[in-house]
Amino acid sequence: MGCLVSTPKDTGGNRRRPGSIGEVSVYVPGLRIPKPVDFSQSLSGHVSKTLVERLTAMRTRIVVMAGQEALTITRTRRKTTTQHGRSTLADLHQALEDYLPVLLGLVSDGSELQFKVQFIWVNQEDDAEETAMFNAWYEVLSVLHLMAVLSLSQANLLLLPRTSADFYQPKASEESRRGSIDIFLKAAGYLDCAVRHVLPRLPSELRRNLPVDLAEGVLRALCLQALGQGVDIQLGMAIDSTKATLAVKRRLACEMVKYWQQAQDNLMNLPLSNGWGEKHRHFVKWKYVEAKV
């Protein structure tokens, strides 16, 4: 049905760990990076040469861009652009959006093609850095997770406080805060789809052996985090508005507490003993306490 191979970390100490990442407004989990795949060898004779070439080109682009983005995604950045002047995060996100519907063709209607290709991803949050599976649903799950992480990173960049012209307390602009709400909703949508529609497609054995960054509890917690931070921004804007009623503010405050409590509950019993997991747990606990206050 699907095979899994995990490669333990090297003993040489080359593992990527979260260091000082500067000022953040949003917890962004470790990036999961895809490794190259030979579609021609796995799918030859099963699909057209054109489709093989298309899959190869699209995924190779993602591999290259994700590898470049991994070097800087957890650092505070005001602006990172490509030679064409577009955000590298936006470019990678668009490449994933283009790739996903083509990838879904391998799993449509229970096709046996879903077991032909071994997909390999490098996990920043798991002690077994490489996880490989002969299952295209694992690839779909990993793509959705990466799209969500990129969205959270985009929201973080929007919400980083900027010094105002009058040198008062730095804060994100109203336009940036409004934009971040839409991005949080997108991230939550990707993660909700992963939990509801992709995880159930994986055999129970493979689900038990998923890396910790793809554990159901972590995905649910990230989804609730995105919803919680979106409501947090809405509440802040409501407080600043003279038109928002007390009832609206109270409703938003209650929703925010609910989301952060549920996020904390989903992380409570997970083995998040590494640096990334501890950061995530502490961030959610802090936001929950802040929301209750």
Please state whether beta strands 128-133 and 32-34 pair in parallel, antiparallel, or not at all (unpaired).
unpaired
Q: What is the pTM of this model?
A: 0.84
Residue ranges of E strands in the chain: 4-8, 32-34, 119-123, 128-133
Q: Please give the Cα distance from 199 to 214 (Å, whole number).
A: 9
Contact by Cβ (8 Å): 138, 202: yes
CA distance to 86, 153, 163, 273, 281, per residue, from 276 (Å):
29, 15, 29, 8, 9
Please state whether beta strands 4-8 and 119-123 pair in parallel, antiparallel, or not at all (unpaired).
unpaired
Q: Please give the Cα distance from 191 to 240 (Å, whole number).
A: 30
Q: Please give the Cα distance from 212 to 104 (Å, whole number).
A: 24
Domains of the chain, earliest start first: 33-75+84-159+171-292 (1.25.40.280)
Contact by Cβ (8 Å): 124, 213: yes
Residues in Cβ contact with 119 at an 8 Å cutoff, skipping those fewer than 6 apart: 34, 37, 132, 133, 134, 135, 136, 138, 139, 142
pLDDT per residue rounded down to tens, the chain (293 residues): 444 544 544 433 344 444 444 456 888 888 899 999 989 989 988 889 999 999 999 999 999 999 888 766 544 444 444 443 346 888 999 999 999 999 998 988 778 899 999 999 998 766 568 899 999 999 999 999 999 999 999 999 898 876 555 555 567 788 888 999 999 999 999 999 999 999 999 999 999 989 888 989 989 999 999 999 999 999 998 998 888 899 999 999 999 999 989 988 888 877 665 666 677 777 888 888 888 87
Q: Please give the Cα distance from 86 to 79 (Å, whole number).
A: 10
Contact by Cβ (8 Å): 211, 162: no
